[in-house]
Structure 1
Amino acid sequence: MELTPIMDREALNRFLETDFPQLHTDGKIFEVMEVVPGSVIMRLVPNERHLRPGGTISGPTLFALADVSAWCTVLAHIGPVALAVTTSLNINFLRKPEPGPLSCTCRLLKLGKRLAIMDASIFDEAADNLVAHATATYSIPPR
């Protein structure tokens, strides 16, 4: 499956700032780092709010990174369709991430007219460890 992105890194980051500004309420912690055919890499730099007792990044923060990465992956390949929505997201927490930057590589497994299916791998950048893996399905609104 050859997929050519419609939106590049700059366009996606701009779209997040203009159409989803609440994502940056606590400061700009999410950033699209790379867009390639069939895939997007996002980065999250957590702040104190994203930590949980025990000195780790919270599960909801990892979930949000997987979800935002999946959304950006869909948008990169269909264009700025803000109303594409998550229909399911399953996440497996594999190991404890230390406080610090995370990266998420999200790949399109299937892009149809109405549904997109992706997998997302979240890495602790400092240790280069896979800390979580998610699968997501997005509903694409009719054009």
Structure 2
Amino acid sequence: MALSDAELMARMNRFVPPTAMLLGQEIVEIDSAAGRVRMKFMPVPECRNPMGHVQGGFVVAMLDDAAAFAAIVKSGERIGIPTIELKASFFAPAPAGVPLFAEGRCIKLGRRVAFMEADLFDEAGKLLARLSTSAVPLPPQGDGPNPNLVERK
């Protein structure tokens, strides 16, 4: 039996990749039918660049997670979604110390390739960055729980 979007969101917020802690990641909305997720990030202070903004590599990591999660929820099953290429465009510095919001969208989910996009916004809704990416949908490794996820308490 498939999980509802609310059940899926609770599970995905409970069992997280280690980077979720670093980036202060929380899924705030899932629309699995549309292949869309909305996420909130609050990166730790160590993610700041010398100018005091969130360093661009961490911005890309947030966007990559949002895009990947969109493909995962669109699939309706447990899959891996390793990135095979991506392009990021930066429109404004990502402020540090405040919540940032990402929207990930699965544009097309094929058997061999998935195409996704993600946008990062500040609290006021200003577009900070956009990512376009593709990945390979893969079945999970093993039958048990994913050993690369940690349980958030």
- TM-score class normalised by the smaller sequence: 0.7 to 0.9
**Aligned mates of 1:130, 1:65 — CA distance in 2:** 14
1:121 touches 1:132 (CA, 8 Å); kept in 2?
Answer: yes
Query: Structure 1 residues 86 and 29, CA, compared in 2 at 3 Å: closer, same or farther?
Result: same
**Aligned mates of 1:78, 1:91 — CA distance in 2:** 24
TM-score of the aligned structures, taking structure 1 as reference length: 0.81
- 1:84 positional shift: 2.1
2:26 touches 2:39 (CA, 8 Å); kept in 1?
Answer: yes
Matches within 5 A, 1:51-62: 51-62=48-59
Which residue of structure 1 aligns with residue 129 of structure 2? 132
In structure 2, give the amino acid aligned to 1:79: G
Matches within 5 A, 1:53-92: 53-92=50-89
Task: Name the structure where strand makes up a greater proportion of residues.
Answer: 1
1:22-42 deviation per Cα after TM superposition (whole angstroms, max 9, x unaligned): 22454x711111112231111
**1:23 lines up with 2:19 in the alignment:** yes
1:94-119 deviation per Cα after TM superposition (whole angstroms, max 9, x unaligned): 11122111111111211111211111
**1:35 lines up with 2:30 in the alignment:** yes
- The count of residues paired between Structure 1 and Structure 2 equals 136
TM-score of the aligned structures, taking structure 2 as reference length: 0.77
What RMSD, in angstroms, separates the aligned Cα atoms of the two structures? 2.4
**Aligned mates of 2:120, 2:75 — CA distance in 1:** 23
Secondary structure (helix, strand or coil) at the match of 1:23 reads helix
- 1:14 positional shift: 2.4
Question: What percentage of aligned pairs have identical amino acids?
Answer: 27
- 1:87 positional shift: 0.9
